[in-house]
Every structure is written in C-alpha cells, then in structure tokens.
Amino acid sequence: MTDPVQDPKPTVIADDVHLTYKISGKYAKRGGAMALARTVTRTSTPGLREVHAVRGVSFTAWEGEAIGLIGPNGSGKSTLLRGIAGLLTPSAGAIYTLGEPALLGVNAALIATMSGERNITLGCLAMGMTPEEIDERFDDICEFSGIGDFISLPMNAYSSGMGARLRFAIASSKAHDILLIDEALATGDAEFRRRSEERIKELRKEAGTVFLVSHTLGVVRETCDRAIWLEDGQIVMDGATDEVLDAYEEKHDPKRAARYRQQQRAAGSQAKPKGAKPKAAKPKAAKAAG
C-alpha cells in the first residue's frame, strides 16, 4: 500500500531476552566479628537476591518509531530499557542495536555537587561532543531546560522536576540513533511536557527510534505510535498505541476506559470507535508488510 523510497531499518531487535539483576539486602546479622566469621566459614552472603525482571521478551523496533512501554510497577519496563542501553547484560537471549542507544532516566544523576552549567558541559562531553559543538548548543540547552538562574547553582539544590528537565535538555541536544526515556517527563510541568513531546517528534524525524516508559498514559498516547504492554517481565500485547492502551485501561482501570469510550463516541460518531489517531497505526502496518 505504500512504496517507501528507502527500506526502514530495524534499530532494536530483542530476541527472547531474559534480564536479571542482583540486589543486596540488609545483612541479617550485623557486626564485624559476625561478618568475619561468615567469611571464614564461607557461608554465602545473606541478603543477596536475584531478581528476574524480564522473562523472554522479543520484539523488533524500526527507525522512526516511537514506542511506549507500559505496565504496572515492577513489570520490568526500566530494566528492559537498561538492557537496550547496554547497561545490563541479558542472562539469556540477546539484544541487538543499530547505532548507539542513549538512556535518559529520572534518577540519572550527573554530578549533584556541581552547577547546572558544569553538568551541561560534562554531559555533552560524555556523549562525545567536541567543545565547539557544546559552545554552539549551550544556550539552546539552557533555554530548553527553562530553569533560569538555577543553572549556576549545584544540582542538589534543584527540585526533582528541574533536574529532570535539565537532564532531558542535555540528552536530547544531540541526535541519538536510539533514545530511551524512563519516566523523565513525568516530573515536568504541562508546559515542559508539551515542549519535550515536540522535541521527541523532531528526534524521530532524524530517523531515530524513541522508547518511552511512562505511567502517564496520556503522554504515551500523544507521543507514541506503538506500545508494548509488559506485565511480570513478559509482553502481554504489542501493537498500535490506541489498541494496546485501550486494552490496558480495560484491565487496570475499567471505569476510566468506559469514560474514555464515551468521550470518543461523543466527540464524533463518524470516527471509528478506536479512532483517536487512526493515522498512527499506518506506518507500522507498512513496515510489517515490507
């Protein structure tokens, strides 16, 4: 049905991925002597537990796609992002990427004791920019973050929203092949959210792929054309945003889903029941065919 000038390329392929991470809990018996006794008797460290966060996930993401990852807390969304970013190694299966992924997490601290300005320079340098490129973009980044005079204060003086805005401004100042956003937009205000949605759209135009983890389904509906629903580390559903989100709401928030359906019906009887954005599903259907 479409005749793309260029074949879309796959940017992320997850092939039956399992991700686990270890966490060390509190030591059961405290004290230096006890710890030494444990070392001598070679009892295993207490409290070291393994969390099997992602269990057998497979999908392929294509260039130009924006994919929302949704699911309840602890469903493995953030872990999956860290796996794609190459910050966690799968215990089974494999994740392949085309290009460098960049992760933007809400807790991703740069250096808290340093000023916002210095963090901008450091963040950009770490992403591999040259000092000249930074000079060019520095003002843009400051302006986009919109934190004003706070830019010269250390980051530990920032509110969580301001920190998130600065981090987003830094990370999105460079075109990434794959941008992974973990709840970073949740703390911003409405104005900032609107601007970051625009920025995400721009990034997608530059043939990037965007992954977005969010509990705010509205943000996912606005920015993503595809959604993956995770639960207990497994994919429940993968498809067009509206279909997946409707099904998700149906399960987790039936009342709201009913309200939403009513709104849709009231908005226009000529539109299809699920047709908030019928355009969104199209490009993907083409890719699936090609």
Partner 1 sequence: MTQSGPAYTTPPGSAKPPRDDARALVEHYGLKRAGARAPLADYTRQLWRRRYFIAEFSRATNASTYSRSMLGQAWQVLTPLLNAAVYYLIFGLLLGTDRGVHNYIGFLVTGVFTFQFIQGSVNGGARSLQTNRSLARTLRFPRAVFPISATAIALEQLLMSLVVLVPIVLLTGEPLRWQWITVIPVLALQILFCIGLSFILARIGSKVPDISQMLPFALRVWFYASGIMFSIPSFTKHHAEIGQIMNANPATIYVDLYRNAFLASGPSATPKQWLLALVWGVVVLVAGYVFFWKAEEEYGRD
**Residues binding partner 1 (CB under 8 A):** 9-13, 15-16, 21-23, 56-60, 62, 82-89, 94-98, 100-103, 105, 107-111, 113-114, 118, 121-123, 125-128, 130-131, 226, 229, 231-232, 234-240, 243, 247, 281, 284-285, 287-288
What is the DSSP track for the chain? ----SSPPPEEEEEEEEEEEEEEE---SS-SHHHHHHHHHHTPPPTTEEEEEEEEEEEEEEETT-EEEEE-STTSSHHHHHHHHTTSS--SEEEEEESS-EEEEETT--S-TTSBHHHHHHHHHHHTT--HHHHHHHHHHHHHHHT-GGGGGSBGGGS-HHHHHHHHHHHHTTS--SEEEEESTTTTS-HHHHHHHHHHHHHHHHTT-EEEEE-S-HHHHHHH-SEEEEEETTEEEEEEEHHHHHHHHHHHH-HHHHHHHHHHHHHH-TTS-TTTTSGGGGHHHHHHHH-
Between residues 147 and 244, which has the closer beta carbon with respect to partner 1?
Answer: 244
- Biggest CA–CA distance in the chain, Å, is 76
* Residue 31 buriedness (CB in 10 A; 0-12 / 13-18 / 19+): exposed
Between residues 19 and 219, which has the closer beta carbon with respect to partner 1?
Answer: 19
CB of 114 to partner 1, least distance (A): 6
CB of 191 to partner 1, least distance (A): 25
CB of 240 to partner 1, least distance (A): 6
Pair of tokens at residue 227:
């959604």
CB of 101 to partner 1, least distance (A): 7
Between residues 266 and 289, which has the closer beta carbon with respect to partner 1?
Answer: 289
CB of 199 to partner 1, least distance (A): 19
Between residues 115 and 216, which has the closer beta carbon with respect to partner 1?
Answer: 115
CB of 201 to partner 1, least distance (A): 21
Instruction: Find where tokens 């469903």 sit.
Output: 75
Between residues 190 and 288, which has the closer beta carbon with respect to partner 1?
Answer: 288
Q: How far is CA 6 from the centre of its chain?
A: 27
Between residues 101 and 188, which has the closer beta carbon with respect to partner 1?
Answer: 101
Between residues 158 and 229, which has the closer beta carbon with respect to partner 1?
Answer: 229
Between residues 28 and 94, which has the closer beta carbon with respect to partner 1?
Answer: 94
CB of 244 to partner 1, least distance (A): 9
CB of 189 to partner 1, least distance (A): 23
